Structure 1
């Protein structure tokens, strides 16, 4: 066993109101420079929808992530090393600016300085921030905000269920999906980079770009199935979410977490076995969720704690892993799910799926949304939303997605009964296989957890301070941009060693 620490995030989608505060603060902190006008390290999508960039989930088109070849070996979907090198100067699997959007600005002076008494109201003309020419705005990073309507019909997740879906106004459903870089355990971007500029930090698993080594080949953009690697068109270098590593090193949450209005984000430490990553990414699709969960190690296991100490991890990190809300939501309560595990990158940003469509449907069907049988039957009958959520989070396993919804619905009903008359709904506990204490602890974490319960990030250990210093600064306005530096990296992912 080769034990490593990973900073991971969980988002509770039931609490996301789609305000985009996380996107704005991230934009102002990291991508407010020339060359990054179209770049959003954090964006909030409305689902169903085609996302940003357009159709990023359609891997038949973009060839992102990993797949199993005919011999059951894990290979990049975009092809082996020889194929990638053969087209290094002409990579066809890249989103164009129209797939992102052409950023615009406005001449506000025409409004401020308009003379009094004009017959017609002055209008701001949008100008392209790329060319400076007048333009017509036709798309944007949050163009589908709060729609879930006509554009949802083109959502790649509906590919296998389109005949079942009707988008009548009173029947449609939608929810908000915030997205950042997944900082994967098996990152395709790292394996695809010809110059070795992409790397995964050894001390905390954050995936970064060494700006000095980046040559702008853009293979990382193609290989990332989440399309969360961007090219700065001013420098020609790749840039991506840094998980706010300067803040993480100081024991502080990411800026998107700090400013989240809905308090839906959780940050913590996970222990994982690096030697188990390749096997977990190589199982059949129906086993991916369980295999990825099995990579994480129990922080309360004495053997795991001993292995962490022997590997040189500080005691502070061992204690932080035991208090990690991410561990609780993913492995103890088992209600958090990865985004598209079928990409086989082992993403480290997980989601608690939204419950609202289930309770709404129970009421619409004349059922009691506090009754265990009525709730469970509603979830079982609600094929469209559960199948859709399964397409997003469980590689199509509706039973796994439905099981999470049952836990969340049972938690609400149980806590309602406890609050109203103090009764213990034992049938609900039996239905989900949890104790009353576990349900109440899960409720506290999801609903009323305080700041230090949601963000359990140990500051960088003093013994690591010198090594972290060498990773470079976090300059935002310099030529290097964010993520500069190349020391202290995991040399190469296990899977990439097997990639032909």
Structure 2
């Protein structure tokens, strides 16, 4: 998945529809598989990015080998029954309901009745003091902004939370379905696994014993403990819908049309090597190097030899995700320094660059003035680099300059002016295609999701998962079959 942060309006529709589909039941009232955060801000759960506290992701040991930050097997074994590195309910929030009966049954009086909040867990009266979207629109304020773990060292001083310097943007988050998932490596029961047929990371509810080591190991804190069942749960990437060739619920209902889904071919044998590069700033290029060109005849031949169906290869060639990550290189991963090689990427937000040029007395038609303004935008490069490139400001600047050149080129097509594409390596044809993809892409262009094939299903009898029995799918013995999802209704103007 790729998300274009310039188009996110923070409406939380994705979060609500995901909640209604997957966690609208007892035991996971506090869990949001998808949530939208305001940055700068502390996030959900509270300061989840502070890995010195939560010990998530991977690090390199003294010999340069990958090791879980949460410790080796013996250390995890010693903490089976008392793990101090778990977020508490206060770090998430105590979910509440309201005493609506009071509104219906209150006797007539001079004052309007009030439905006071009650804990959804205990039923007792409580106060609402925190929540998954508590910072909505408040991320850049003096009360919340300085708590952002990404504001370290001199960056905290540079990002001054004053009225005239305030900035914020919305960051939707879900499980990253990593190529090198720390959660799967940390699970003592082997309940977390990455499906070989499509790379989705799932939790086997039969094998899970509720040790919660996966919660600690996940640096994004996107695995939740169901206190009613004693099992770990997480985002499933809506795989019943994916298997049926439909986009995820969060993508289907996204108001801003900022999400893109597609197939990416990658070299699985080199995942460990890519995750173990010594310099964290090299992780972006190392992961991009894993992704294979679906138009390369050798890649196509190897994919066919591996049993990948032809419609999947065609989907890989049409993949908007591959185009944004590998062809145009405008998408970046969230916190690559965790070394999990995440598979949910982001097009970083671009501040109003032409306003910045005018404010500095520059010429909006001059590429030199426009590119120079990128380094002084309202959202500091250093902050975006802490989020998406392990601190490499040059990589972020390159993406923002490419997006700036694209805007200038499309503006010049209408109003005239010099061509700004040359310095960023885009041809006019590529610029038009990238503009179409980022700005006006239709439903079928944003979501290129081929249906699953029965012959590629690697799950054997006894495997517990959510299987959508459609098309060629035949139920496997011992599987639990649950058909979840929402009816697909395309807007009339988006019908291919």
Give the structure-2-normalised TM-score.
0.91
Q: Deviations over 1:18-47 (max 9, x none)?
A: 000000000000000100100000000000
Listed one character per residue, the Cα deviations across residues 59-106 of structure 1 (whole Å, up to 9, x for unaligned) are 000000000111111100011111111111111110000000000000
1:61 is aligned to 2:53: yes
Query: Which runs of 5 or more residues in structure 1 are unaligned?
Result: 1-8, 477-483, 487-500
How far has the Cα of 1:382 moved from its partner?
4.0
Q: Does 1:134 align with 2:128?
A: no
The match for 1:158 is 151
Q: Does the CA-based 8 Å contact 2:195-2:201 persist in structure 1?
A: yes
The 8 Å contact of residues 15 and 35 in structure 2, kept in 1 or not, is answered as: yes
Query: Do 2:194 and 2:201's aligned partners in 1 also have CA atoms closer than 8 Å?
Result: yes
Q: Larger RCO: Structure 1 or Structure 2 (Cα < 8 Å, ≥ 6 residues apart)?
A: 1
The equivalent residue for 2:386 is 391
**Unaligned regions of 5+ residues in structure 2, if any?**
469-477, 481-496
Distance of aligned partners of 1:57 and 1:310 in 2 relative to their CA distance in 1, 3 Å threshold = same
The answer as to 2:35 corresponding to 1:43 is: yes
> Size of the alignment, in residue pairs?
467
1 CA distance for matches of 2:38 and 2:460?
37
The structure 2 residue matched to 1:181, chosen from 175, 181, 205, is: 175
Shift of 1:380: 2.3
Deviates more, 1:259-268 or 1:287-296: 287-296
1:151-300 equivalent positions in 2, closer than 5 A = 151-160=144-153, 161-283=155-277, 284-300=279-295
Name the Cα RMSD after superposition.
1.9
Relative to structure 1, the CA distance from residue 328 to residue 470 in structure 2 (aligned partners, 3 Å threshold; closer, same or farther) is farther
Is residue 182–residue 348 contact of structure 1 (8 Å, CA) maintained in 2? Answer: yes
8 Å Cα contact 2:57-2:338 kept in structure 1: yes
- Alpha-carbon separation, structure 1, partners of 2:46 and 2:385: 21
Aligned residue number for residue 498 of structure 1? none
Distance 1:216 1:289 in 2: 33
Superposed displacement of residue 362, structure 1: 3.0
CA distance in 1 between partners of 2:362 and 2:77 (Å): 59
Residue 446 of structure 1: how far off its partner (Å): 0.3
- Aligned position for 1:408: 403
Say whether the 8 Å CA contact 2:159–2:380 is kept in structure 1: no
Take 2:215 and 2:77, find their aligned partners in 1: how far apart are those partners? 15
State the shift of 1:333 in Å. 0.2
- Counterpart residue number, 1:497: none
Task: List 4+ stretches of structure 1 deviating above 6 A.
Answer: none
Offset at residue 472 of structure 1 (A): 4.7
Name which of 424, 428, 433 aligns with 1:432.
424
**Cα displacement string for residues 212-268 of structure 1 (whole angstroms, at most 9, x for unaligned residues):** 000000000000000000000100100000000000000000000000000000000
Given the alignment, which residue of 340, 360, 364 partners 1:345?
340
For normalisation by structure 1, the TM-score amounts to 0.90
Between the aligned partners of 1:228 and 1:144, the Cα distance in structure 2 is 18
Distance in 1 between the 2:119 and 2:158 partners?
41
Taking a change above 3 Å as real, the CA distance of residues 395 and 408 of structure 1, as seen in their structure-2 partners, is: same
Q: SS state of the match for residue 362, structure 1?
A: helix
